[in-house]
Amino acid sequence: MTQAVVNPIYNFSAGPAVLPKEVLAQAAAEMLDWHGSGMSVMEMSHRGPEFISIYKEAVADLRELLAVPDNYKILFLQGGGLGENAIIPMNLVGLAASQPATIDFVQTGSWSSKSIKEAAKYANVNVAASSQASSFAGVPPVSEWQLTPGAAYLHICTNETIDGVEFQEAPQVPAGTTIVADMSSHILSRVVDVSQYGVIFGGAQKNIGPAGLTVVIVREDLLGHALDICPSAFDWTNVAAHESMYNTPPTYGIYIAGLVFQWLKRQGGVAAMEQRNIEKAALLYAALDADDFYQNRVAPPYRSRMTIPFYLRDESLNDAFLAGAKQRGLLQLKGHKSVGGMRASIYNAMPIEGVQALVDYLNEFAGR
């Protein structure tokens, strides 16, 4: 009797997204009894010694992985990236040289556009540069950015999850400019110089852990400027002073993030992971660019390594493409509803075997 061949499952979801199988296996093994404590992590007091040890190790490992300088605080909060779009201006508009404050933005896609809309509730907004006219095909040259003297800060989204546009380096802006970077969908995927930024933030559900956890890395001198209307639980000064325990944090999300940080260290750290990500992205883009059957609409210098949108030349084939992909264990490839097409998110936890399986299917479907 011939056994049916079962394809391995590869999940290309943009977030919540794939997690390392090792991490999921460890979490499953520890679900009912964490390290002989008799408790699941979900049952622990956030102020008890067991969870405090989990929290401290997670902070230390993230600081090591990103080489976070000592004068930066690492905060674990709730609210996601969208929540931070409000929390950030409430914490930082007080930095402006004069009030009412102005916040500068570089608009490179859907997420920076959402940030602009939310920030306008708290301050004047200056779109210093935008690539909207080119359908967000890249990042406007820094030489064209019209920055505001005395602005509270400059907000950028360094990887646009929907549009697939990625900053390849920190922008070189005038000294004294505080850069706030939304790194939700590529944090820990590449080496960054944290000291180039005032704030780095991201929802965890793409490259760190489960939904419900938000990571904020903030330079200490930026604390203490919150507006009076800022809720106490979202005032970074309070959160930092209480080591993310001002209110009950997302404990299980922090635990899973900590396991992911340990996994990353076992993989050789961020620099080693970056090389793998370069290899994975090159493999996928080569298949998309082989002919005109598929199309990625981002200019090559700005193409994301993590979130790769693409379109079929004949979009009437979309449903057949997705059905065939699902049959082969290639899941969650449908593009965001706002832009259509397809999207493959190939975060750290996506093995190169998954990318190769997708490439094989792309070639097969295109009749190559």
Say which DSSP state 46 is in: T
* Rounded Cα distance, 248 and 55, in Å: 12
- Among the listed residues 206, 236, 263, 334, the single catalytic one is 206
* Rounded Cα distance, 72 and 217, in Å: 6
- Among the listed residues 163, 182, 236, 334, the single catalytic one is 182
Q: Is 70 a catalytic residue?
A: no
Radius of gyration, alpha carbons of the chain: 21
Q: Is 314 a catalytic residue?
A: no
- Among the listed residues 111, 145, 236, 263, the single catalytic one is 111
Neighbours of 50 (CB within 10 A): 18
* Rounded Cα distance, 225 and 94, in Å: 5
Q: Is 334 a catalytic residue?
A: no
Enumerate the active-site residues: 111, 182, 206
